[in-house]
Amino acid sequence: MKRIFAFSFLMFFIFISLSIASDIPEELFIKGNSSYESGDYEKAVSVYEELVRMDKISPGVFYNLGNSYFKLKKIGMAILNYEKALRLDPRDRDMRLNLKIARSMAVDKINTPERGFILGAIFFLYDRMTINELTAMCSFFYLVVILFLILSIFLVAKRRLMFYTAGVFGITSCILLIFLSAKINKENFTKTGIIVAEKIDVRSGPKEDYLLQFTLHEGAKVSIVKDTQNWYEIELSSDLKGWVPKPSVDII
């Protein structure tokens, strides 16, 4: 039984380790790194932003771009790019640490509910895996279930064991499928943004003459509720909503 589980997990890690190499113009990336190392952070930002415009993105591009903005004391843009880097590589410790430091420097301290130890353990894979990795895991466990069901046909003496094992992998596959669905919904159907303006007034409607609700500063993370031609309706919580001009927010 132990050998079966060991073999299954070995095959899984081999399966998800096969990734597509990032198509980044090496010379341009090196140029950005060189500018950063020499202290020319404005130039580094210009080079990394050019890579983003070319759609030649990777966790490293967003991470270095975040570092460059951080050095320029543009906390909102730093947080934005750290968030984008973590979306592509959610297990990177340096990215998480730098994001934490940048958030601590933001003016608005927006508290999010703590999950606690149990929920933190349950959502460990959800927080640290990409959509592609979760898809690979679901596919892998589904194939394992099919494999054990096929084996149960031939290994009559161990049929009950095969069924139980298939059940365990099947339940795991269902849980991962729920995580995958939630991740797809969060990243593709729920808009989240970062305030990149140094300071912005949040109003009760999509015009400058609407009532002032509250004020936000760069680095604040918000949910995008509605989208008009020039304004976003944002939400921090159920009782903190309002409208801000689009240029003051960048979507993660």
Provide block-wise average pLDDT over 10 residues at a time, the chain (252 residues). 50 45 70 92 94 88 95 95 93 92 88 66 77 89 89 81 88 89 84 93 93 93 91 88 94 90
d(CA 68, CA 90): 20
Domain spanning 191-251, CATH architecture: Roll (2.30)
Dist CA 140 CA 68 (whole Å): 39
Rounded Cα gap, residues 80 and 33, in angstroms: 19
**What is this structure's pTM?**
0.77
Pairwise CA distance, residues 212 & 214, whole Å: 6
Identify the bridge partners of residue 235 per DSSP, sorted by sequence position.
Answer: 223, 241
pLDDT for 105 equals 92
Do residues 233 and 225 touch, judged by C-beta distance below 8 A? yes
* DSSP assigned state of 205: S
CATH class of 26-104: mainly alpha
pLDDT of residue 21: 41
What pLDDT does 1 receive? 53
Q: What angle do CA 30, 33, 38 make, to 5 degrees?
A: 125
What pLDDT does residue 83 have? Answer: 95
Q: Which residues contact 126 (CB under 8 A, 6 or more apart)?
A: 134, 179, 182, 183
Angle, CA of 154, 156 and 159, to the nearest 5°: 100
Strands (E) located in the chain: 191-195, 199-203, 212-217, 221-227, 231-237, 240-245, 249-251
Give yes or no for a contact between 201 and 240, defined as CB atoms under 8 angstroms apart: no
